[in-house]
Structure 1
Amino acid sequence: MNNVQWTDDSYRYVWNLFRSYGMGLIFAANIFGAGSIYILSSVGVSFRFTLLWVLPLSLGVGLVVHEMSARLAVLDQPLMGYIRDVIGSPAAKAFAVFIAFIMHLWSVANYALTGAALAFLTPLDSVVIATVLSGAAGITLIELRVYQRIEAVIATLVLVVFGSYLVIFLGIDIPVADVARGLVPAVRTKMGPLTMIIALVGTTIYYPNFFIQTSMHQAKEFDTVSQYRRDHTVGLVAAVLMSMAVLIVAAITVPSGVVSLVDPARPLVEELGSWALTVFIVGAGAASFSSATGTLFGAGFMVPQAFGNDTAFGDRPFRIVVNGLIVLSLLLAVPILTFTDFSAVQLALVVPAVNGVIGLPVTVLALYGAMHRYYNPTWIENVIFIGIVILMFLVALLTATSLAETIRMLV
């Protein structure tokens, strides 16, 4: 009888943890997708530990932007509702559909990399078929409809990813002194390091999360800003810690540029054994699937809200939009993988940048405007918020310049 009671108590404890921090872990999942894994690996290879300090900085910036978002969430004021009021219904509809299309490009890349991981780990011999199966699994997840169930699944996947990289991280010798020096800010004027700094900031501050957070009042039933703040802080810290682990592991073990699914893991296999490859691919696949699916939650709220619907998580308009974008992601991913020279990893590196260049600065600007409608920020808060808006437009500008050159080299 005591064993049953202990099991029930444990279940309730885990359920309460997911309730308190599950949305933040979804944010972590959305941030830490396929692109992040390979972008971070590339940074570690090219610059070793010298840009490590950017990740704690990105955490600070992300917390500031989420502070704006949380203040709207506790008032149950979705960001798209504010945008619709400001620019009008016709413009809001066009904007929402356009941004949703751009947003779903993240899922194109992540479902493709999920498929590549699935094909590697199973007898399936086709990345295309495995990609389609990954998208079908995403639709199945959405059809659970109840937010708490979906939150629990994605939060569990995030913990799997975290555990995978923790196992690898603990299996290698870490040069503590070099890592510590990498945490000391050092700004370089050369375009290469500067562009990677901006890319790391933009990867951590992921704009669909703000549309999600400001729309989750009914599902989460948080009553105070502090509850939202605690939740998203845990999520962002988890994402940054995972990012730091990937960058450090790549800086230590990867001898050359990352070009394929398994390249970041090859040195780990030599150092730790064949199990490291499986652990790495499981982590990459889980991260990609959770990010591909969770990202589209933002569109599931945003599009119906632009059309004047007070949508809730899992209702019919939400599911129509999210499932439709998953299908569209597959319809775009399959021909790209079949008829072009783009690999799943190349998609993971390029497409997320296309996503962020357009959506990130506009979203942060809208958050700033909404803050002034619903709150009266202090002058210090105003200075900080304006600085973040300027930084996000700088992120978009420099990323666009670098992205154009990257696409030219790949095509």
Structure 2
Amino acid sequence: MSDTIFGTREQLRDTASGFFQQYGLAFVMVASVVGAGSIFVASSVGIQYGYTLIWGFVAAALIGVMAQDMSARLGIFGEPLGTFMRRKFGERVSLALGAVLSVGAILWTIELTAATAKGVSVLLGGAVGWQPLAVAVTVLAVLTGVLNYEGLERVMTAMLFVLLAAYLLVAGTSSPSALGIAGGFVPSLPGGSLTLVASVVGSTAIWSNFFLESNLVAEKGWTSAEDVPTMRKDLAMGYGIAVVLILSVLVVSAAVLRPAGYEELRSFITPGRALGSTMGQWATVLFLFGASAAAFNSIMPVMWAVVYLFQNARGVAVDSANRSFKLIYAVGTASGLLAPLVNVVFGLSVVEMVVLFAAYSGIVSLPITAVLLFWAVNDEEVMGDRTNGLGLNALNAVLVVLAFVLAAISLPGFLQSFGEILL
């Protein structure tokens, strides 16, 4: 019997190792997609519009795949995006531009730390406030992120599958309308939904991933044209899981909270609390656990991207196993310790951080990065004969246009909210 169990374990280990030798990079990428922001957006969409905007999440995932495909091809046939910046602008300008972009990552890390801590605090029944828990979350994020690439990839993949199981269980028992879900795949724009659709796209096309994937293809050993099909299968799997996970949140909100009379969310954890009265405490626990884990899982790839960006801009060879890499990551991730201070000094709640801080990335970082990426994959000096063709340029131009449209839609609300903070 023990030999059989041992043999089964060996087979599972070998199967997992074989999988990660070929795939897994996209799971690191989509970890930043499935965060507190996407859960809040999906919950809001489900409550306000039911199933009608499902198509928007599918379209956003396709845009995300397209952007990641550009980034991966840049890394395979050319050079990392940060290195491209250095080639075109020189070290000083590249570092300055990197600093502008990284403000978004720092703000993102602060709000993700706060969101994780808030979820854990609620799970503990408020016995410990989220502010002291933010310190523990930051320490754990630092320790997890200093793993080398292979270790981080496996940890984050495991967490994504745990999240998927949790949300599918809650969604499956919420008695959703199969007809309503099917109808949601037909594009439509209900009145007043444009801003939310913009948020859907903005929480899926993550700028930091453009820098990260162009570096990590080398860590994965994807270095030639023969690796492109594998890369694209990996993207399809990763974003497929992300879409199913996020749509599970939407389905729960549409099937349970909307009929219960909820019209808006005060927090990304509100759906979890609300599920307790309609489905039982188990649903609350699973939803809140998922929300906290999703927020935590997003911290590592965001800050890894910053390290790669600055090392590339400095012209330094990047190795995730190096002490300097881990030190820069640890210092950047330690910005999560500022979350309680932001709460005290500026009076911002966790949900206000989730909404406001993520907006900076969408308004500033995403447009800049989208233009850089589009420029890079069309640069013959970098890509040789692997530059975009007319068809790919037509598709990829959609990302650039959307980035600026999203920024234009989001800017007025961001400035108003920022002004209220200053006043």
TM-score normalized with structure 2 length:
0.91
Amino acid at match of 1:62: G
**Cα distance in 1 between the residues matched to 2:209 and 2:269:** 29
**Cα distance in 2 between the residues matched to 1:266 and 1:128:** 20
Structure 1, 56-65 or 314-323: larger mean CA deviation = 314-323
Q: CA deviation at 1:212?
A: 0.8
In the other structure, the counterpart of 2:355 is: 349
**Cα distance in 1 between the residues matched to 2:78 and 2:158:** 27
Query: Is residue 2:234 matched to residue 1:231?
Result: yes
**Cα distance in 2 between the residues matched to 1:68 and 1:261:** 32
**Cα distance in 2 between the residues matched to 1:97 and 1:267:** 40
**Cα distance in 2 between the residues matched to 1:377 and 1:98:** 28
Contact kept, 8 Å, 1:303 with 1:321, in 2: the verdict is no
Contact kept, 8 Å, 1:142 with 1:314, in 2: the verdict is no
Provide Cα deviations, 1:152-206, integer angstroms capped at 9, x if missing partner. 1111111121111111001111112222222111135x5x311111111111111
Query: Is residue 2:386 matched to residue 1:379?
Result: no
**Cα distance in 2 between the residues matched to 1:10 and 1:76:** 36
In the other structure, the counterpart of 2:204 is: 204
Contact kept, 8 Å, 1:128 with 1:334, in 2: the verdict is yes
1:314-393 residue pairs with structure 2 within 5 A?
314-331=321-338, 333-373=339-379, 374=383, 375-393=386-404
Amino acid at match of 2:303: L
In the other structure, the counterpart of 2:214 is: 214
In the other structure, the counterpart of 1:194 is: 194
Structure 1, 273-282 or 263-272: larger mean CA deviation = 263-272
Amino acid at match of 1:404: L
Q: Go from structure 1 to structure 2 and tell me whether the alpha carbon gap of 1:231 and 1:177 turns closer, same or farther (over 3 Å shift).
A: same
1:289-304 residue pairs with structure 2 within 5 A?
289-304=296-311
Q: Go from structure 1 to structure 2 and tell me whether the alpha carbon gap of 1:16 and 1:338 turns closer, same or farther (over 3 Å shift).
A: farther
Q: Go from structure 1 to structure 2 and tell me whether the alpha carbon gap of 1:403 and 1:40 turns closer, same or farther (over 3 Å shift).
A: farther
**Cα distance in 2 between the residues matched to 1:305 and 1:261:** 35
Contact kept, 8 Å, 2:31 with 2:297, in 1: the verdict is yes
Corresponding residue to 1:403 among 414, 417, 423: 414
Q: Go from structure 1 to structure 2 and tell me whether the alpha carbon gap of 1:387 and 1:121 turns closer, same or farther (over 3 Å shift).
A: closer
**Cα distance in 1 between the residues matched to 2:412 and 2:243:** 25
In the other structure, the counterpart of 2:145 is: 142
Amino acid at match of 2:319: A
In the other structure, the counterpart of 2:405 is: 394
Q: Go from structure 1 to structure 2 and tell me whether the alpha carbon gap of 1:98 and 1:318 turns closer, same or farther (over 3 Å shift).
A: farther
In the other structure, the counterpart of 2:283 is: 276
Contact kept, 8 Å, 2:163 with 2:293, in 1: the verdict is yes
Q: Go from structure 1 to structure 2 and tell me whether the alpha carbon gap of 1:245 and 1:137 turns closer, same or farther (over 3 Å shift).
A: same
**Cα distance in 2 between the residues matched to 1:90 and 1:9:** 51
Contact kept, 8 Å, 2:39 with 2:268, in 1: the verdict is no
Q: Go from structure 1 to structure 2 and tell me whether the alpha carbon gap of 1:406 and 1:242 turns closer, same or farther (over 3 Å shift).
A: farther
Provide Cα deviations, 1:189-238, integer angstroms capped at 9, x if missing partner. x5x31111111111111111111110013421124112222222211111
Contact kept, 8 Å, 2:25 with 2:153, in 1: the verdict is yes
Contact kept, 8 Å, 1:297 with 1:322, in 2: the verdict is yes
Q: CA deviation at 1:76?
A: 5.8
Q: Go from structure 1 to structure 2 and tell me whether the alpha carbon gap of 1:27 and 1:376 turns closer, same or farther (over 3 Å shift).
A: closer
Structure 1, 195-204 or 20-29: larger mean CA deviation = 20-29
Corresponding residue to 2:11 among 9, 12, 15: 9
Structure 1, 244-253 or 165-174: larger mean CA deviation = 244-253
Query: Is residue 2:245 matched to residue 1:245?
Result: no
Q: CA deviation at 1:407?
A: 5.0
**Cα distance in 1 between the residues matched to 2:270 and 2:144:** 30
Provide Cα deviations, 1:272-313, integer angstroms capped at 9, x if missing partner. 211111111110111011102221111010011111112122
What secondary structure, in the 3-state scheme, does the structure 2 residue paired with 1:351 have?
A: helix
Corresponding residue to 1:128 among 107, 127, 131: 131
**Cα distance in 2 between the residues matched to 1:139 and 1:43:** 33
Q: CA deviation at 1:365?
A: 1.1
Amino acid at match of 1:232: L
**Cα distance in 1 between the residues matched to 2:116 and 2:11:** 35
Q: CA deviation at 1:337?
A: 2.2
**% same residue:** 24
Contact kept, 8 Å, 2:43 with 2:253, in 1: the verdict is yes
Contact kept, 8 Å, 1:141 with 1:150, in 2: the verdict is yes
In the other structure, the counterpart of 1:167 is: 169
Contact kept, 8 Å, 2:65 with 2:236, in 1: the verdict is yes
Contact kept, 8 Å, 1:216 with 1:313, in 2: the verdict is no
Amino acid at match of 2:138: G
Q: Go from structure 1 to structure 2 and tell me whether the alpha carbon gap of 1:177 and 1:113 turns closer, same or farther (over 3 Å shift).
A: same
Amino acid at match of 1:231: D
Q: CA deviation at 1:110?
A: 0.7
TM-score normalized with structure 1 length:
0.93
Alignment RMSD: 1.9
Q: Go from structure 1 to structure 2 and tell me whether the alpha carbon gap of 1:408 and 1:244 turns closer, same or farther (over 3 Å shift).
A: farther
Query: Is residue 2:288 matched to residue 1:286?
Result: no
Amino acid at match of 2:351: V
Q: Go from structure 1 to structure 2 and tell me whether the alpha carbon gap of 1:64 and 1:260 turns closer, same or farther (over 3 Å shift).
A: closer
Structure 1, 117-126 or 21-30: larger mean CA deviation = 117-126
Corresponding residue to 1:89 among 74, 88, 91: 91
**Cα distance in 2 between the residues matched to 1:298 and 1:261:** 25
Structure 1, 252-261 or 31-40: larger mean CA deviation = 252-261
Q: CA deviation at 1:252?
A: 2.1
Contact kept, 8 Å, 1:304 with 1:317, in 2: the verdict is no
**Cα distance in 2 between the residues matched to 1:407 and 1:257:** 22
In the other structure, the counterpart of 1:313 is: 320
Contact kept, 8 Å, 1:116 with 1:261, in 2: the verdict is no
